[in-house]
């Protein structure tokens, strides 16, 4: 095991995560995370916004529940022996995480398994290998554990086990360490990265969620004029697009009549009727009050089929 790596024992998970860039968060430093930006990660670690509570997320919950099952299946299928896996890795310089499983291979020695689940359609979009954020994660754990190989094991669609093998890449791990060190230095220096305005809207709202009755003068700020004009223009385009969509929907419904779907090459067209629900009267301690029902409506969707 890498001499720099150590196991932290006794600290709570939240406290531990606050002190490290996790292996699953490293991708944000490469702008390669689909769910986390560099800007949001910075403010989470700085403590200026809360880290979300992912409890209740069905996808995450079932991924965790299936993890041990997938690991056992991979070991049985590929001839690995499970090894005692540290609860936490921490290189002492702000990089760490919870690896899924250390294993021993009869021919390659000990390595790391990272376990994922994926819908079939999602995996189809990957191409020949999982996305970059998964590859950065397994490389990070290889570096922390001091092993020469690692695998991403993916259960696809609940019934297909896929294995992706990777050798440790020292130069990539060195770049990960460099970016993590620079990240923590920026936190200490209180110098956040620039936000990605296409992705960081919710983070910015969380940072400035206590607006008062004060007034800021932006009349000398040319960019603010550009933003205001662009917003008005974009809203007008969106309004026009919404009106066009409603007109298209009306014409298509006129063609469907009372049919719930249509055959159309290259497209899926569906418009089933969602039945109405009647009003309900509360008769216990809310006698006389009415819970309004819902009118029936057509659930209208058109999607382009994948070829």
pLDDT tens-digit readout, 171-208: 999 999 999 999 999 999 999 999 999 999 999 999 99
Tracing tokens 């690995």 back to the chain, one arrives at 80
Quote the pLDDT of residue 94: 97
Quote the pLDDT of residue 7: 39
3-state SS assignment for residue 198: coil
User: Using CA atoms, how far apart are residues 93 and 181, in angstroms rounded to an integer?
Assistant: 7
User: Using CA atoms, how far apart are residues 290 and 275, in angstroms rounded to an integer?
Assistant: 19
- Strand-pairing partners, residue 263, are 268
Closest to 301 measured CA to CA, from 257, 261, 241: 261
Q: Within a 10 A sphere around the Cβ of 287, how many other Cβ atoms? A: 8
Tracing tokens 């001839």 back to the chain, one arrives at 79
Angle at 264 between CA 263 and CA 270, to 5 degrees: 60
Q: Which two tokens stand for residue 289?
A: 């009050």
What does DSSP assign to residue 294?
B
Tracing tokens 């020469």 back to the chain, one arrives at 148
Q: Which two tokens stand for residue 169?
A: 């890449």
DSSP per residue, 38-90: HHHHHHHHHTSSPPP--TT-HHHHHHHHHHHHHHHHHHHHHT-EEE---S-EE
Check: CB of residue 29 under 8 Å from CB of residue 21.
yes
Backbone angles phi, psi at 102, to 5 degrees: -85, 140
Q: Which two tokens stand for residue 224?
A: 């603010």
Q: Residues 55-82: pLDDT tens digits?
A: 667 777 777 788 999 999 999 999 999 9
Between the CA atoms of 235, 238, 244 and 248, what dihedral angle is there, to the nearest 10 degrees? -150
Supply the mean pLDDT for the chain. Answer: 89
| Whether the model pTM is above 0.95 | no
User: Using CA atoms, how far apart are residues 142 and 137, in angstroms rounded to an integer?
Assistant: 9
Quote the pLDDT of residue 298: 63
User: Using CA atoms, how far apart are residues 75 and 79, in angstroms rounded to an integer?
Assistant: 5
Residue ranges of alpha helices (H) inside the chain are 13-19, 38-46, 58-78, 120-126, 132-145, 170-188, 201-207, 222-256
3-state SS assignment for residue 144: helix
Which whole-number Å values give the CA distances from 263 to 117, 246, 247, 272, in the listed order?
A: 33, 21, 20, 14
User: Using CA atoms, how far apart are residues 183 and 185, in angstroms rounded to an integer?
Assistant: 5
| pLDDT mean by block of 10 residues, the chain; 307 residues | 39 82 97 97 95 73 85 96 94 95 96 95 91 97 97 94 97 98 98 97 92 91 94 94 95 94 93 82 61 69 73
36: left (phi over 0), alpha (psi -120 to 50) or beta: beta
- Cβ neighbours for 223, distance < 8 A, ≥ 6 positions apart: none
Tracing tokens 């440790």 back to the chain, one arrives at 168
Q: Residues 248-258: pLDDT tens digits?
A: 999 999 999 99
Backbone angles phi, psi at 209, to 5 degrees: -110, 20
């Amino acid at each position: 095991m890498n001499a720099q790596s150590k196991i932290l024992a006794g600290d709570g998970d939240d406290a531990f995560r606050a002190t490290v860039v996790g292996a699953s968060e490293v991708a944000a430093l490469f702008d390669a995370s689909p769910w986390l930006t560099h800007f949001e990660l910075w403010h989470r670690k700085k403590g200026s916004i809360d880290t979300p509570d992912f409890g209740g997320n069905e996808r995450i919950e079932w991924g965790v529940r299936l993890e041990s099952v997938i690991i056992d299946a991979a070991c049985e299928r590929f001839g690995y022996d499970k090894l005692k896996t540290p609860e936490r890795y921490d290189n002492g310089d702000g990089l760490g995480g919870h690896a899924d499983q250390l294993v021993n291979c009869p021919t390659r020695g000990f390595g790391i398994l990272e376990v994922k689940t994926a819908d079939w359609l999602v995996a189809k979009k990957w191409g020949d290998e999982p996305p970059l954020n998964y590859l950065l994660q397994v490389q990070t754990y290889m570096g922390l554990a001091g092993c020469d190989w690692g695998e991403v094991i993916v259960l696809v669609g609940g019934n297909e086990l896929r294995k992706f093998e990777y050798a440790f890449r020292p130069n990539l791990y060195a770049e990960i360490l460099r970016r993590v060190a620079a990240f923590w230095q920026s936190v200490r220096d209180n110098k956040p990265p620039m936000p990605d305005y296409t992705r960081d809207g919710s983070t910015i709202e969380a940072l400035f969620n206590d607006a008062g009755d004060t007034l800021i003068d932006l009349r000398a700020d040319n960019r603010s004029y550009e933003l205001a004009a662009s917003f008005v223009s974009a809203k007008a385009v969106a309004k026009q697009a919404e009106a066009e969509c409603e007109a298209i929907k009306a014409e298509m419904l006129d063609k469907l009549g009372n049919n719930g779907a249509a055959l159309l090459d290259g497209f899926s067209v569906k418009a089933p009727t969602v039945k109405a629900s009647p009003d309900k009267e509360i008769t216990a301690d809310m006698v006389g009050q009415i819970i309004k029902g819902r009118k029936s409506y057509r659930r209208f969707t058109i999607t382009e089929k994948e070829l």
